[in-house]
Amino acid sequence: MAFRIELPQRAASERRFFVGMAMAILASVFLGFARSFYLKPVFPDYPAPAEPFFIVHGITFTAWIFLLLAQTTLIARGRTDLHRKAGAAGVALAIVMVVLGVVGSLIAASRPTGFTNMPVPPLQFLAIPLIGLALFTLFFAIAVVRRRDAQSHKRWMMLASIQLVTPAIARWPVIGGLGPLAFFGITDLFVVALVIWDLRTRGRLHPVTLWGGLILVTVPLQLMLAGTETWLRFARWATGLLG
């Protein structure tokens, strides 16, 4: 009988947890891009991309964050029917995001000044958004395949969305000057929150949290390749495609 009482309580807490994670992601993205995008009229002198392309880029990626919040809220309210219908729009949006993300990254890396407010050399920094987009695509694809397994699906979707937070954190006040390890270190706190949740409610890590989380926290090691001649040769070739 105790188990039957506890299970609904855990389900309700879990729904609140994932809604809270989505809200934290939204707040992180807003903080990072407030001065250069969301509140640009309030900060007219703050550096921002000059290309109109990035207005579309920003709106599209913002739509994903709001969709994440909407989807977690629908599940919390028991509207799985609407959640499934919105999922189809999510697939289309994700495809557009990846295309815009790749093009936007190449545009930024091609500028003489590089990525806005990023002191890292642009061809090296290009590794951050491209690896991020690759992992987002991987996690999202797995989430779609595992959509009938609610526990796996929600974790893959959350990890995919967490992967998008790093560029915003890199633009937080003060944090931007600390370098990539700081960006990723703060992003990893979202993974830590998921780990703590699993341990408190399940007594062990869900396999998605374990393996997906390990992939995310080891991304900084992959960035060591960004300074190699092999990567720089690829980056020069990729940015050359825009010319």
pLDDT tens per residue, the chain (243 residues)? 333 335 566 677 888 999 999 999 999 999 999 998 999 999 988 888 889 999 999 999 999 999 999 999 988 888 888 888 888 899 999 999 999 999 999 999 998 888 877 777 888 888 888 888 999 999 999 999 999 999 999 999 999 999 889 888 888 887 767 777 788 889 999 999 999 999 998 899 999 999 999 998 887 677 777 888 999 999 999 998 886
Residues 109 and 235: beta-carbon distance below 8 Å: yes
Q: At what angle do helices 53-76 and 80-110 cross, to 10 degrees?
A: 150
57 alpha-carbon distance from chain centroid: 14
Domain positions in the chain: 11-240
Q: Which residues of the chain form beta strands (DSSP E)?
A: none
CA distance 221 to 150: 31
Is the pTM higher than 0.75? The answer reads yes
